Structure formats: C-alpha cells, structure tokens
Structure 1
Amino acid sequence: MDTLLILLGLLLILAGYVWLVMQAFSRSLFWGLASLVPPLALLFVLRHWTQARRAMVLGGLGCIPLVVGLALLAAHDSARLEAILRLDWLRPEPAAKPELAIQLRGELNGKPFAPEQADLIDGVLSLREGQDFYAHREVRVRLPATVGGPLRLDVLPNDSGTLPEVEISWLVPGQDLPEAVRLARGYSLHLDLAPEAPNRMVGAFHLVLPAQMRTTLSGKVELYTNHLRYRDGQVDTRVDSQDTLAYVVRDYLQRRFARRDIDLAQLPRLDTRKPAPDVPISFSVGGEAQTLSLTLAKTETRGWQVKGDKYPRLVDAPAPAPARPSTQAVEPTAGQPHSAPETGVVALQRLQAAPERFANRSMRVQTEQGRTAEGVFVGLDADGRLVIRHSLSGAGEASYVLRPSEVVRIELLVR
C-alpha cells in the first residue's frame, strides 16, 4: 500500500509539472524553455500565478499521497526508506557473492569450465555450470556407496576393481538434451575432502580424462552434502527442497514426543510450489513404528512448517558422566580355547543394541536400493547411522554412512 501511495504522489507531481511547462510555452517560447529548468519554472509561477495556479494545485495534491506513503514506509520498513532517501537505487548493485568457494581451473570437452554449483549427495559428486534444468556443462562422479566423514581417493588409469564412475555432459547449441559420456576406468582422479560444519565438504579435486575427451580439472572445491541451506547458523526453512521438508517434519516430531530418538522414513515426493495437505508420515519412536497425517504449508516469514505446530522447543538433558572403564583384564580359563569370531547374517536390531561388540569387524551391508557397502564397521554416529570404513583401489579410503531404514541385510565376514 505504501508503494502505491508513493507512486501515485509522484505521478501527480509529474503531471502537474508537465502541465506547468505547457502553460509556460503557451505564454511564450522564452518562458517555455525557461520552465524546463525547475528553478526558472518557479519564477514563471511567481510572475504568472493566475495562469500557473491549476498546475500547482495538481502538484500539491500529489504531495498528500506521497507524504502518507513515506510515513507508512517509515513505520514498517525504516531501513528501506533510508535507502531510498540515500538514493541507493541509483547505484549499481554489487556482484552477488557465490555461495560456494569453488576454485577450479581447466576445461570440459575443450571449453572453459567454471562450475557454480557443487554437491556430494547419496554418493554422487556433482559440479554444475548453469542454473537451468539441464546444466550447460556438468561433471558427475558416482562413488560405490554413500560417503560420510573425510574422503580421500586416488584412482589411476590402470587401476581395476570397484571404481567410481565418471560422467561428463554438455549442452550443444540448438539441442534440447545434453550430450553425455561415461567412463568406468582409464582416468585419473584425486579427491581429498574434509567435512566442514554444518553441511559442506572442502578440499582438493583433480580429474584428468583421456586426451580425446579434452577434459581436465584441478583446484579446490567446496560442496554441499545435502539440500539444506543455513542462515545465521540455523536451517533456512524457506528453501524449497525435500531435505528442508524432512528437517521440518523431524523437528516437529521430536518436539511433539519430547525425545530425539525419532527415525523418520523417507517422505513421499512433494511439490514444493504449493501446500501439502494430509501428507502420510511413517516414523518410529524408540523402535516402535507409528504413522501420522500432517499438513505442510509455507509462509514468507517462517518458511515451511507443520500446520497446528504449537509444541515448545526441545531441551536436551545433560549427558551423564561416562563410567570409568574397568582395568581388570579377563583371562581365559586354562584349557579353554578362545571362541571363534562370529560370522554370517546378523540382525540390525542386534547391531544397534550393542554396536561395540561388532566394532572393527568386516561386514557386507546391502541396502534397499540394491547397493552393497563392504568394509570395517566403525560404529554408529550421533544420528544412529552405520559407519563403515572401506579401502578402495590404490591409496583411497572412504567412510560410508547408511541409515538404518535403508539397510536390508548385514553379513559378518572373516578377514
């Protein structure tokens, strides 16, 4: 409303000034040319008030909505009013600071490549150039499994075994779909990435494809590890993504049940362009499966939220002091052989109940998507996810993180 009043006032003042100039030209060519300069136009008003008074009245009427609009703007958004009075709108806008610090040098398919977006989500590292649905140029590295924690990987052209798959794609002028090339081996890749709070990884990236592909990249990258975005240290719930909706629902359930051990199943794919009424939510509280139907809606100020959410913020209880481990060693009974290590299939609930019993054991985990993660079991992270350390071909080593909800089979191995 304030903007409309300000525009109306300015239009009336401008119309009054144009009318005044027309009256001055009707008087004489000299006064018309002089009235094009505002100070001399005031002189025309003083000398010929009878002829100029109606134009001045119209301009004066324009001052009323202008003053009212400025007063309303000052009451609601004083900073914006100050910017208008300082004539900030006349100055060129500063260049937008990129979200990620990507410092890569090289080319893709023989053309300079300057990625603007980068992420490492669900085991796929992606570097994209362009904001359209199809990237103008893109590099994808598909790792064997989901990665959690630091990642160091070195692949040489002669390496064999289970290696990441590299894909490059580019849009050709005049075509709707991009061209793409995939490589399973025969390339050089170096990754040395370290996690950085809250949801980023930073480190070195080096990729060299066969000479005929004219693709080389080298430098430092910064990548997102999920689709959450943060503002002032808090999740920005105004961002439209499935991860944002999952965060909002999980936070709501934790506050509703006043506990942190909420295992949320995968949400159905939702259209973030409109409210989502009656969304079926499957989750478990302390291992007990439950379902709810929630309504998700978005506001300009608070972003996405669950309709009817009035539950207070959840305050974590202080962690108990860790018990001092016993220093007394347990010796095997004379003549009693040491028990052989356990092998075979183990239940997920058993591993979750006593993860320390299976620490440093080799295991093979199969997920519901058909992927297989094989390596040494490290333990459970703070969110209850399985962490497996896996040595890749060459000098590479990676840590895979698997959610309990996607695990279908766990098999202990003997090494």
Structure 2
Amino acid sequence: MRRCSPPIDSVWAHGENNNMAELLIIVGVSALIIATLGLMHEAGSRGHSPLFFLLPMVSFGQVQSHWEYYRWWALARVGAVLTTAVGVGLLVMTGGLAGDIAVQPMSSQSGQVLRGEKKASSTAFVSSEEAALLVVEGQGKRLTGRLHGEPFRYDRVALIDGVLTLSQGEGFLADLEVRVLLGWNPEDITERKTLIVGPSDEGAPVAHLSWKPQGKDYPETRIFEGGYRMELALAPLDTGQLSGSIVLVMPDSFKSYLSGNFTAHTNHLRYRNGEVDLYFDHEDTLAYVAEEFLKTQFPQGALLHVQTKHATLHRAEKVGLVIATVELSNGEVQERKIRLEKADVGWAVVPGSMDTRVTVAPQDQGIKLVEPNIETPGETHSTAPEPVTLTFPELVAYVNQFVLLETIGGQKLEGVLRKISGDRLWLVMSVGSGNVERSVGAPELKSMTLSSGKQVLLESTGSKLPISAQQQPKVESASVKSVQQRPVSPETTEPASEGHSELKTLIGKKVVIEASDGSKRTGVLQSLVDDQLTLSVPVGAGSMEFFYDLDSIRHIEAAR
C-alpha cells in the first residue's frame, strides 16, 4: 500500500482576486498620469518648468517650496502610486506574475479548454460528513457518482499507459470523464494493489476532471494536483482485465465524487453484450482477431504462447496487418504475418494470407507439429494407427475431441465433436474469429479421423440387423415382393431421378439457390443426400453451411 507524504500549505488562486488586482493597477496608473499632467499644467501657469514633474523625486524640492500651489495634485499622485502598488502586490500574492494564473475558457476558443492550478487547496466538502455518506452508499455497488453536477454511471474504465480513465459516454470524446495519472503498469499488478491519497498530501497523482458544456462538442478539463481524497484498489482479474474499486472526492464547487466497483480494461478493445466488438477499428482489435485465429491452428498442447509484435491498421482501405510471435511446445519460435480485412462479420483473417518464418529451430526434433489441413513432409501412411470400425452410437467415446469428418459426398469437416444424439452428431467449427455448430446425420457420415491420426470407419447399419429380422427371411421377402408388385407411376419417379442427376452435376460448383420464401444465397453446392442438399456460403475468413430440402427450393442454377 502506498501513502503520500505529509501535507504542506497551498494557496488557491481565485479569479476574483486577479480581477481586483488588475482593476487596482489600471486605476492607479490612470490616476498617476492625470496627477502628473495636473502638476505640469500648474507649474506652467506659474512660470515654473513642467519637466521637473516627470520625475517624482526631482520635483520634490519644488513641490515642498510651493506646497500651497501643488499640494492637491501631489497628494493625488501619491495616492495613485499607492493604489498601483497594492494592485501589483495582490497580483503577486495570487501567483499571477509567476505564470500560474488559471486559464479561463473563452467562448471563441475552439477545442478542449483546460483549467488548472499548480497548487490546489481542498474544500470543506472533501472531508465533510455529506461526502462520507455519499461514498459509503456507493461502496460494494457498480461505480456511480456525480461529476460537475451531473449524475455519473461508468461505461468504460481503462488502465493504459499508466493512466486510469473512468468515462461515461460511447463517443470518441466522453461526456464525463476522470483521469488519474497513476504511472502504474498493468502487467506489474499481479496481486491486489492499493493507493490512498489525503486532501493535503504532497505528491498526489494528477487528476483531470472533464465534462462537455451544454451545446459544445469539445470537453473542458480541470486539473487537480492535490486537494482531493481517493482510495483506489486494483487486482488482476483476467487477460486484459483488472477488478477494482474507488472512492474519489474532488475539491470543486460542484461537489464531484465517485464510489463503487468496476472492471478495468488494459487494452483498447471494445465490448458489446459481453463479447469483443469486431467492428471497432483499432490495432488492438486486429491483434485480438489474429491471436484467436492462431490459437485454432495448432493441436491441443502444441501452442505455448502467442504475442502480437506489431499491428497496422489502414482505416480507409479497411485492411490491416498483424505480425505475431508464436512459441511452440517443442521449443520452436515462429513469426507469422497475417492480413486482415473488414467484412460483414467485422474484422477477419484473409484466407490464405498467412506467412510463416521460423526464427528459432525446434529443440526436440522428436516432436512433430501437425497443423490442420497440412500434411507433414515425408510422412508415410505406414506410421498411421490402424483404422477401426465402429457403429454410429459408439462414436460417443470421442465427444469433446478434435476430429475430421468425411461425408459420403466427399466433404471434409473439422472441429470439436460436441455431442451425439439419436442418429445425428453436432460438430463445433471455427469460422473467422468465432464458432458455428454443424449437425451431421448418420447416413451422411463416411469416416472420422482423430487428432492423433487414427481413422474411425463407420460400420454400415445394414450389416447389423437384429436377430429377429434374420430369423424371418420369408416375411422380409414377402414384404419386398409386395412392394415390387405395387404399381409405380413413372410420372412421379422419373422427374425425381432426373432432378437428382442434374443436381449431382453441380456438386462442387458455385450455384444460386432461390428458396420458396424468396430469399437467395450464392455458394458452393457441397453435397446431395436423399432430398437434402448442403450449400457452403463464404463468411469472413471461413464459411457457413445452409441446408435445404428439395421441396423448399423454388429455383437453382449455376452461378455465372
């Protein structure tokens, strides 16, 4: 815990005293000029030299010799000199000649206006019972208070570059804001850290109080180098976040104060509904998207650390570049360059844009890094584990594992096997910087490959008929015969077979599908199983799949 040094006396420079000093100086100088001109006129009318009265001490003898003629003008000049001296003395006492006069706002001045004092004295409110009751009421609750006479409820708290910022308002310039120049590095806060500042403590952190005047676009800021009371506590919470509480009572005439708990961010990421806002244009957003993307490119346990070295943002072109350092468990260190673009889903990685450069060779050559969709050079199939054959329900043993699925149509899907229910499984796939859940039916699935390289073949359901069914061949053949004897309408079967054959020629090609509700989507036709087809639509750095029943499609054609 840090406590500031013992108090010293400080003097508040009031604007009223400055105005009074300036008025006394103006009156004194004006009276001095008038009295001097009066003495010169009186001397000229009596035949004396008026030049003697330009210098007060030189004309002292002449005034003394002819006191009855010059006494009123002489007394007026003495009074003018005294008035000027009092004005100068008052100006010196208020610090005006030392350059510490507060900068007053001017209506004609554009931009941010600052008011500040080198030394600020406290007010009675800072140590009053009223302030104590207000801060006690807010303790243990979400940070609230009053700033410059307006209610305050924080929208964002950040500790960046040693400055603690508590702001209200989502705009580029906050509506209400307090900044405390702590000089703390967030990375050094590994345990609870506190700071207590008293109203008369020396060496207190500089505090800025900012507000937007009515009808103004730019805020005004008042600077305090002391005179306030603050109790601050910060503790590590999560990556890029700190939990904290504050009690702050300001020595202004509006009785400003803050009290309560908050979550402080140590970067410029913006959040919307508890998630990172991928539409916010900032280098930290690019770094976040790139790091999250890199975390999905390695098997579990292979990645130790990802650190962004540099991020460049070009707002006009809506593109960016991130250079990151990747440390692997085998000792290898890589430098990866990733290009990003702003798409409909926000900032996302440009597919196929990543460049890799190995800066430190792996220490253990026995550890092999396997990346998704990338085969290791020189790898032979003889080293792969023997494939196994399982039924669909037995795949539940691989839930929560990273797998690669292959469908009957030849499509490959990779992700985390989330659950199996009935004759369907659910796979969580990475799309851009987010996730999408895909459902696959048992009839569509051909095989599954684990992260270890082990292949699981799906056993045909027809090869495992119940014993009761095997013991009744006559009933089965009879039922088949009865089905064969049914009259089949050629009008209903031939168009369906012809439609399926035409659609199968479009598999793997880009098509446009118009649904019965009028919606249109353009993508790659992935598969056609029974009466359901799968369309893959590009989204950001990945793709999203849509499923259609043939009955729900109004029109389908190859894209030009």
TM category (shorter chain) comes to: 0.3 to 0.5
Normalised to the residue count of structure 2, the TM-score between the two structures is: 0.32
